[in-house]
Amino acid sequence: KPGEQKHPKEPSSSQCMHLAVVACGDRLEETLIMLKSAVLFSNRGLCFHIFAEDSLKPEFEKKLKEWPSSYTKKFEYNIYPITFSVGNAQEWKKLFKPCAAQRLFLPVILKDVDSLLYVDTDVLFLRPIDDIWHILKEFNSTQLAAMAPEHEIPKIGWYSRFARHPYYGTTGVNSGVMLMNLTRIRNTQFKNSMIPSGLTWEEMLYPLYQKYKNYITWGDQDLLNIIFYFNPECLYVFPCQWNYRPDHCMYGSNCKGAEEEGVSILHGNRGVYHDDKQPTFKALYEVIRDFPFEDNLFQSLYYPLQSKFLDTVHTLCGRIPQVFLKQIEKTMKKVYENRVIVYLGANHRY
> How confident is the model over 47-100, as pLDDT tens digits?
999 999 999 999 999 999 999 999 999 999 999 999 888 788 888 877 756 687
d(CA 283, CA 189) in angstroms, rounded, equals: 44
118 located within any domain: yes
d(CA 111, CA 108) in angstroms, rounded, equals: 6
Collapsed DSSP state (helix, strand, coil) of residue 33:
helix
Domain termination site, one of 211, 238, 265: 238
Q: Which of 234, 244, 130 is CA-nearest to residue 181?
A: 234
On whether both 179 and 259 belong to a single domain, the answer is no
**Phi and psi torsions of 35, nearest 5°:** -65, -35
10 located within any domain: no
Residue 265 confidence (pLDDT): 98
12 located within any domain: no
29 located within any domain: yes
Domain count for the chain: 2
Angle at 278 between CA 216 and CA 33, to 5 degrees: 80
- Going 236 to 242 to 247 to 248, the CA torsion angle's sign is positive
On whether both 79 and 177 belong to a single domain, the answer is yes
On whether both 179 and 138 belong to a single domain, the answer is yes
In order of 94, 138, 248, 323, the CA distances from 31 in angstroms are 20, 28, 23, 24
334 located within any domain: yes
In order of 156, 224, 231, 298, the CA distances from 218 in angstroms are 17, 10, 20, 38
Residue 84 confidence (pLDDT): 85
5 located within any domain: no
DSSP β-ladder status, 17-23 and 115-119: parallel
Amino acid letter, residue 16: C
Domain termination site, one of 238, 266, 287: 238
pLDDT, averaged per 10 consecutive residues of the chain (350 residues), comes to 46 81 94 97 96 95 95 96 84 74 93 97 97 97 97 81 86 95 98 92 92 86 94 97 95 93 96 95 97 89 93 94 94 81 56
314 located within any domain: yes
Residue 295 confidence (pLDDT): 83
d(CA 256, CA 240) in angstroms, rounded, equals: 8
Contact 174, 148 (CB under 8 A): yes
d(CA 17, CA 63) in angstroms, rounded, equals: 21
Domain termination site, one of 238, 258, 282: 238
CATH value at residue 193: 3.90.550.10
On whether both 311 and 209 belong to a single domain, the answer is no
Contact 50, 19 (CB under 8 A): no
Q: Which domain holds residue 283?
A: 241-347
Neighbours of 65 (CB within 10 A): 10
